[in-house]
Amino acid sequence: MKTLFVIGDSISIQYGPALRAMVEGSYVYDRKGARGPEDTDLDRPAQMNGGDSARVLEYVCERDAEGFWKPGMVLLLNCGLHDIKTDPATGKVQVEIADYQRNLRAVFELMQRRGVEGVWVRTTPVEDARHNDRPGMAFHRFNRDTIAYNETADALVAEFGWYSIDLYGFSERLIAWLGADEVYVDHVHFSERVHGLQAAYLCGALAKL
């Protein structure tokens, strides 16, 4: 049975338990930080949260030095929400889009060399006002950046022949169906009901591999 190894942001942490249950019998589920303490602040990457693309690249290289990546493994990967964090004072994003592209390319190339099958999960939507008008937010996000960074990743997915799962489009459809107040629980995270629906969508897509 293949190992499904997950690296992703807090969205993946939230849908992770449901996805793990759904793929049981098809994959051995594992993820970054699974054997450490759970992250207590979903906005600050720690053990389970993959963080931005620079942090993801650092992590996959560290595991590569341990000989972790093996042919036949499946890597379910996402990053983007932390890359597009924007300083409200300067307008500077945490990881510029050109650096995002370079970081992802390095990850994709490493997985290609190791014979790991790559599955990319497109970054979920941001509602600008819901996110940026929230009191006490130390950073902003803008959906225009989500779209641009997703498109940058899309080009690499096509170049390297990865499989792509459009969690962005699926989550947008949920917002249109249920309404944003039923989908979101805060500035960017989703309700428990949505976690299950996202996991089911991912599981269905993985079944096509």
29-43 burial, b for 16+ CB within 10 Å, e for fewer? Answer: bebbbeeeeebeebb
Geometric angle at alpha carbon 33, from 22 and 100, rounded to 5°: 95
What's the predicted TM-score (pTM) here?
0.94
Contacts made by residues 174-183, CB under 8 angstroms, sequence distance 24+:
175/125, 180/127, 180/130
Looking at residue 153, its pLDDT comes to 98
CB 119 within 8 A of CB 165: yes
Residue with tokens 């999960």, as numbered in its chain: 121
Domain boundaries in the chain?
2-206
φ, ψ at 191 (rounded to 5°): -75, 165
| pLDDT at site 48 | 87
- Backbone φ and ψ of 38, nearest 5°: -70, 150
- Secondary structure (DSSP) of 3-27: EEEEE--HHHHHHHHHHHHHHBTTE
Fold observed for domain 2-206: Rossmann fold (3.40.50)
Output the pLDDT for position 36. Answer: 61
Compute the distance between CA of residue 12 and CA of residue 195 in angstroms, rounded to an integer: 9
Interatomic CA distance for residues 29 and 17, integer angstroms? 10
Angle at CA 52, nearest 5°, toward 51 and 53? 125
3-class state of residue 148 by DSSP: helix
Note down pLDDT in tens along the chain; length 209 residues: 999 999 999 999 999 999 999 999 999 999 998 766 666 556 566 678 999 999 999 999 999 999 999 999 999 999 999 999 999 999 999 999 999 999 999 999 999 999 999 999 999 999 999 999 988 889 999 999 999 999 999 999 999 999 999 999 999 999 999 999 999 999 999 999 999 999 999 999 999 88
- Report residue 138 CA to chain centroid gap: 21
